[in-house]
Structure 1
Amino acid sequence: MSRLQQKIDDKMQRAEQSGLLRRRQLLTQSVGSANRLVHQGSIKHNFASNDYLGLSQSPELIEALGEGARLYGVGSGASPLVTGYSDAHAALEQALCEATGHEAALLFSSGFSANSALMKTLLDKESVVVADKLIHASLIDGLLESGAQLKRFAHNDLGAAKRLVDKHQPLTVVTESVFSMDGDLAPIDELYELTQANDAWLIVDDAHGFGVLPLGGHNKVDASCCDIQIVTFGKALGCQGAAILGSNTCIDFLVAHARDYIYSTALSPASAHVALKAVNLIKNGECRDRLAQVIEAFKLAAKARGLRLLGSHTPIQPLVVGDIDKLAKVNRELKTAGFWVGAIRPPTVPQGSARLRITLNVNHTQAELEALADQLQRALQD
């Protein structure tokens, strides 16, 4: 056996023994099935998807994908700087700017790529960055590759953020709008005021906020409260891709220097066409209003059964179990009862905070919400 194979085997064995080995699971979701997944021949209620507005299954986006393919084909064919930038991309960028007030936008094939590219292109070893402790792995990876000096403040602690900014005078402060594992919201306005007072930029990863906010009295993120905004299309927009939004100068700099953009095949024009349709669909806020009703209904159902959620106002409703083995047992019982819920373990979340990450969407019915709450109560009591 080669040394590299031995290293792989040892690491996989340690992960399995600690209950932290990640594996893919084959799931089937048919068009029109809304919140139904098929796993090993049995149907599950889907409470794990980030498709908050249910747009991935909407007739409008399905039709837009076919229309986009007929207009542009199914691939872009090259990097955006070669032949891969089309009017479909330009139209989507323009719509995103109109929706957020930013001057310019730059499209990527995924949110991970956009976040990583932004950090390692904009910053270098001479840069100091202050960031919330719970920012996404893609941001951290990009910062590590950039060589920037990263100073992290306790999650959503404004006082701690201010102390670090005053001490280190960073080029930028980095946070998320909605945090993906806790479902809580960053104090964006206060952080923007802090950065402006210290000649720094505020960068906001708006992956789980765009299309969902404003919700629960919290305002959406736009150019009025941040310098750079990252939007992903795979959550509330129900499709694929991502965009960095900012000033003309910033976007021009990224076009000229971001290796992930320069050397990657562009997002397909058909995908851009679908995302444009999704951006237009969320304008009136009707889907968001329905989502708010679903969130409130589930929180009431959970409260009635004594379930202790983290208090999120968003469709991300975590229920901390704590122990990894207990989480695995509860999750098995949920699956047996026909519920598919995200089971999140360290290192994605801190030690001792393994949790069920319940994600809600507009297509969840009152009966489904009540049934899930009943099953959670039984599983946790057992």
Structure 2
Amino acid sequence: MWSGGAWRAALSRVPCGRRAQSAQARLRDILERELEGIRDAGTWKSERVITSRQGPHIHVDGVSGGILNFCANNYLGLSSHPQVIEAGQQALEEFGAGLSSVRFICGTQSIHKDLEAKLARFHRREDTILYPSCFDANAGLFEALLTPEDAVLSDELNHASIIDGIRLCKAHKYRYRHLDMADLEAKLQEAQKHRLRLVATDGAFSMDGDIAPLQDICRLASQYGALVFVDECHATGFLGPTGRGTDELLGVMDQVTIINSTLGKALGGASGGYTTGPAPLVALLRQRSRPYLFSNSLPPAVVACASKALDLLMENNAIVQSIAAKTQRFRSKMEAAGFTISGVAHPICPVMLGDARLASRIADDMLKRGIFVIGFSYPVVPKGKARIRVQISAVHSEEDIDRCVEAFLEVGRLHRALP
């Protein structure tokens, strides 16, 4: 056995280039074994290449003919709306390709402030702060707001960005069982010793298509002196009578303190996220939130596209009613056929299959029949909970939905995935 000194002496006689090469070889071996494990588990995620604009009808590299797209977050169909595209083009001409700066240096333009004010009005909140993504908004909120004197209580199935954001803060952390109000109440009772108590939940849960019971959460928060934070990424623009989200849907807009949401789904589909809530909170985030302080400003074209999408939504919300009817059509037909669809009345319609390989094979066979869907497996969803997450858009026709259901029936029978 060599002593530490003898080992270091021997290593020093190995040329630096060879040592580096050896380290790189070890790294490559470790990575290849890890990747092989992912393949063996049937959870490998391939990326299909789209060669057209996003929309209900797309073209996919290597697949002949048009494809029906049933897995985009393009809930309102605005990602390729001509007025949204025109607004982006105009902003590109007037304000340039980007700011080459963060907001507090020289990265704030009039359109950034206009969009923040418009989002605050839309959500009926005091102020709004923009981020490059909602992942950044979630990463920037909890650390800036909560201290070791505080507590945060999080639904166990919250989005990964909420989980990661909470990890960054020094508050005491409580995790309650998914949608379990008795468990939340027990955790609130336990957390009474802390200065601030913040209940954090997704409004609509992206993997299961279920909706948080915000009325009960707000009631418990009021009873135990807590604040409520809701991530509305899969609700903004299409849930509620005017598309303002789950707090509007459930009648608690005045009881939710903080909302984080995205511009990258229903509101244009490009990029960007935001926090909206009390003006002092937004002011603090501008001073303390690290993703805001250290990330480039949103590009002008992205800001303009989202702003126009918001205008279209606020001018006419008939599209909100359209998506609800189409969602019900898909869910009822699939359930009548014998498929298990998770969630209730949300355009996210997870077709539950359980086995990762089965989900992947069914998704591949659906593509052969002209339907673009993706199998979801670990670590995106828990092991044994693999699924195909179908997402309905307002711009899908009834014929599109019926064709998707028919393809599921054919492929489901082929793989014996139906009872």
> Which stretches of structure 1, 4 residues or more, deviate above 4 A after TM superposition?
215-218
Larger CA deviation: 117-126 vs 243-252: 117-126
* Structure 1 SS opposite 2:104: coil
- CA drift of 1:281 comes to 1.0
Whether 1:353 and 2:385 are equivalent positions in the alignment is yes
Q: Distance in 2 between matches of 1:26 and 1:243?
A: 29
1:171-320 → structure 2 map (5 Å cutoff): 171-214=197-240, 219-220=248-249, 223-238=253-268, 239-283=270-314, 284-320=316-352
Deviation, 1:124, is: 4.1
Q: State the alpha-carbon separation in 2 of the partners of residues 251 and 202 from structure 1.
A: 16
Q: Which of the residues 18, 32, 39 maps onto 1:9?
A: 32
Greater C-alpha Rg: 2
Give 1:5 shift. 2.5
Question: Is the 1:192–1:202 contact (alpha carbons within 8 Å) kept by the matching residues of 2?
Answer: yes
What CA deviation, in whole Å up to 9, does each residue of 1:310-356 have, x standing for no partner? 24211100110001122122112111111111211022212211001
Q: Which runs of 5+ in 1 are unaligned?
A: none
Deviation at 1:21, TM superposition (A): 2.7
1:18-59: per-residue Cα shift (whole Å, max 9, x none)?
12233333222237x642232314332100100000000111
Deviation at 1:126?
4.3
Instruction: Provide the rounded CA distance (Å) in 2 between the counterparts of 1:229 and 1:82.
Output: 26
Q: 1:73 aligns with which of 96, 102, 107?
A: 96
Query: Aligned-pair distance for 1:7?
Result: 2.3
Match of 2:17 in 1: none
2:228, 2:258 within 8 Å by CA — same for their partners in 1?
yes
Distance 1:244 1:25 in 2: 32
TM-score (norm 2): 0.86
CA-to-aligned-CA distance 1:223-257 (integer Å, 9 cap, x gap): 51311100101111123211100111111111111
Query: How far, CA to CA, are the matches of 1:37 and 1:362 in structure 2?
Result: 19
**Structure 1 residues 136-194: Cα deviation after superposition (integer angstroms, max 9, x where no partner):** 10111111122433221111111111111111236211001111011111011221222
Matches of 1:130 and 1:304 in 2, distance apart?
A: 38
Deviation (angstroms), 1:297:
1.9
Q: Name the residue aligned to 1:143.
A: 166
Query: Offset of 1:287 from its aligned partner?
Result: 1.3
SS at 1:328's partner residue? helix
**What secondary structure sits across from 1:277 in the alignment?**
helix
Distance (whole Å) between structure 2 residues aligned to residue 82 and residue 220 of structure 1: 39
In 1: Cα distance, 2:82 partner to 2:249 partner: 26
Tell me the residue number matched to 1:36.
58
Tell me the distance in 2 between the aligned counterparts of 1:56 and 1:132.
31
- Other-structure match for 1:19: 42
| Structure 2 gaps, min length 5 | 1-21, 415-419
Q: Name which of structure 1's ranges 163-172 and 209-218 shifts more when overlaid on structure 2.
A: 209-218
- The answer to whether the 8 Å contact 2:129/2:276 transfers is yes
Contact in 2 for aligned 1:131/1:174 (Cα 8 Å): yes
Code of the residue aligned with 2:327 in structure 1: it is: I
The answer to whether the Cα contact below 8 Å between 2:78 and 2:267 also exists between their aligned partners in 1 is: yes
Q: 8 Å contact 1:301–1:369 — kept in the other structure?
A: no
CA RMSD of aligned residues (A): 2.0
Partner of 1:330: 362
2:374 partner letter: G
Could you tell me which residue of structure 1 aligns to residue 373 of structure 2? 341
Aligned equivalent of 1:107: 130
Task: Output the CA distance in 1 between the equivalents of 2:400 and 2:178.
Answer: 33
In structure 2, C-alpha distance between the alignment counterparts of 1:41 and 1:13, rounded to whole Å: 27
* SS of equivalent to 1:82: helix
The amino acid across from 2:275 in the alignment is I
Q: Give 2:264's aligned amino acid.
A: G
CA distance in 1, matches of 2:33, 2:293: 37
CA distance in 1, matches of 2:364, 2:85: 33
Tell me, yes or no, if the aligned pair for 1:330 and 1:380 is still in contact at 8 Å: yes
Letter in 2 for 1:360: I
Gap change, CA 1:17 and 1:126, over 3 Å in 2: farther
> In the aligned structure 2, how far is the partner of 1:109 from the partner of 1:71?
21
1:89 aligned partner: 112
SS of residue paired to 1:50 = coil
User: How many angstroms apart in 1 are the aligned matches of 2:118 and 2:94?
Assistant: 19
Q: Does the aligned pair in 2 maintain the 1:97–1:105 contact within 8 Å?
A: yes
3-state SS of paired residue (1:55) = coil
